[in-house]
A = this chain, B = another copy of it.
Amino acid sequence: MTQIELARQGNITDEVNVVAQDEGIEPEELARRIADGQAVITLNRVHTNIRPLGIGRGLRVKVNANLGTSRDAFDVEEEINKTQVAIEAGADTIMDLSTGGDLPAIRRKIMSVAKVPIGTVPIYEAVARAMDSASSFCEMSPDDIFEVIEEHLKGGVDFLTVHCGVNLRALACMEDEGRIMDVVSRGGALTIAWMRYHEKDNPLYTGFDRLLDLAYEYDATLSLGDGFRPGATADASDRAQIQELITLGQLQQRALKRGVQVMIEGPGHVPMDQVQANVLLQKRLCHGAPFYVLGPLVTDVAPGYDHITGAIGGALAAWAGADFLCYVTPAEHLRLPKAADVREGVIASKIAAVAADLARGNPKAKSREQAMSRCRKALDWQGMYDLAIDPETARASRSQLPSSDDDVCSMCGEFCAIKVQQESLKKT
């Protein structure tokens, strides 16, 4: 039986207990949300050596880091290093998006290092294999795709991004309305290329039941990808995107019936004023399923700083109800991220998550804020570092330019507002 089926029976599993304790909520409440698809525990039943993690309604906002080789650059050790950096910086999950090198070996290695839920995009490996063996990757068959999916599940992958909503209907929507950037999702573009080549619909859409059977067997979570996510703020919330979202909501219901956990992936490039509407629509059309967003990036014009555009959009989205933030690094749109980019990306997303947790009234977030402020008031620097999202950077920063007065910082020195108040109260 799967987590959903057990939750439906009112069975409080060990996994539910662990997650409920971590989140500070009642196990029964969490089980109810799992049963009705509003929360998931991303845990493949053969992935036994990690702590269960919950994602969804009423839970702390989570952060994912994407890693992996490209066909231009496949230094496996470097990806392992990045994995460690991402985990240390606070990533809750890792997605291995490798496309270059010995993919199964890389995945195993990443999983041996990252003791957190792992996600993949199996179509990348299917395409990479086809690129190596055929004249066009489009030669791959539906069986080739499902074979990779099964291998990933056997290997313990906890959640799979599958672009099941990329179908002929949504494609027609994009083609007849027009877009500036068309498709920017890699999985979406590869799927559409296959569909055009074969003049057939997407095998992950037409073969959704086969996919459900596999996911069911391993109790893996399907992360229904948004192949039509906007890649330009001008394309946000358009016909193709919403048509695909409607399909994802239909598939989500089928998955729930089958006892398979589902998340829904979301945009992308979205102006600030459309973020809340995107979350609201996802929650309504997909029946409260956890929402996993990439960014969103609230402007297109900041290459080199998309961790910041993504933190703005991620904070807004999570405050509005998104549950899971896929990080964006400063290298986005420019190159494969390096370890330092991975770190910056995770931390920017953590900031967005923490800010949203606070705005959503999460009691743990609130008390952490207050503890930090009490340390600030007391000029207790060690206390501040301990409570910081990134203690190391905070400590190193202050030590770079020490103040002549040990208590305060070199920003204000004698003019320190806290110090001035302390003195003025002493005198009166």
- Residues of chain B lying within 8 A (CB to CB) of residue A279: none
- A301 in contact with B389 (CB, 8 Å): yes
- A73 in contact with B401 (CB, 8 Å): yes
- Residues of chain B lying within 8 A (CB to CB) of residue A124: 415
Residues of A contacting B: mostly: helix
Number of interface residues of A (CB under 8 A): 110
- A305 in contact with B415 (CB, 8 Å): no
Is A388 an interface residue, CB under 8 A from the partner? yes
- Residues of chain B lying within 8 A (CB to CB) of residue A127: 415
> Which residue of B347, B393, B413, B417 contacts A184 across the interface (Cβ within 8 Å)?
B417
Is A311 an interface residue, CB under 8 A from the partner? yes
Per-residue interface assignment for chain A, residues 92 to 103, with 1 indicating a CB less than 8 Å from any chain B CB and 0 otherwise: 000000011000
* Complex: A394 Cα to B304 Cα, angstroms: 5
- A335 in contact with B401 (CB, 8 Å): yes
* Complex: A424 Cα to B302 Cα, angstroms: 29
- Residues of chain B lying within 8 A (CB to CB) of residue A331: 397, 401, 411
Given contacts A190-B415, A193-B423, A417-B189, contact A368 B271 (CB under 8 A): no
Per-residue interface assignment for chain A, residues 170 to 188, with 1 indicating a CB less than 8 Å from any chain B CB and 0 otherwise: 0000000000111111101
* Chain B binder among A150-158, A242-250, A285-293, A371-379: A371-379
Is A72 an interface residue, CB under 8 A from the partner? yes
- Residues of chain B lying within 8 A (CB to CB) of residue A271: 355, 358-359
- When all copies of this chain in the complex are counted, the total is 2
How distant is A320 from chain B, measured CB to nearest CB, in Å?
10
- A335 in contact with B410 (CB, 8 Å): yes
How distant is A321 from chain B, measured CB to nearest CB, in Å?
13
Is A196 an interface residue, CB under 8 A from the partner? yes
Residue of B nearest to A269 (CB): B373
* Chain B binder among A6-14, A41-49, A228-236: A228-236
- Residues of chain B lying within 8 A (CB to CB) of residue A234: 366, 369-370, 373
Extra pairs beyond A99-B413, A304-B390 (7, CB < 8 Å): A73-B410, A190-B420, A301-B389, A302-B347, A303-B397, A304-B388, A304-B397
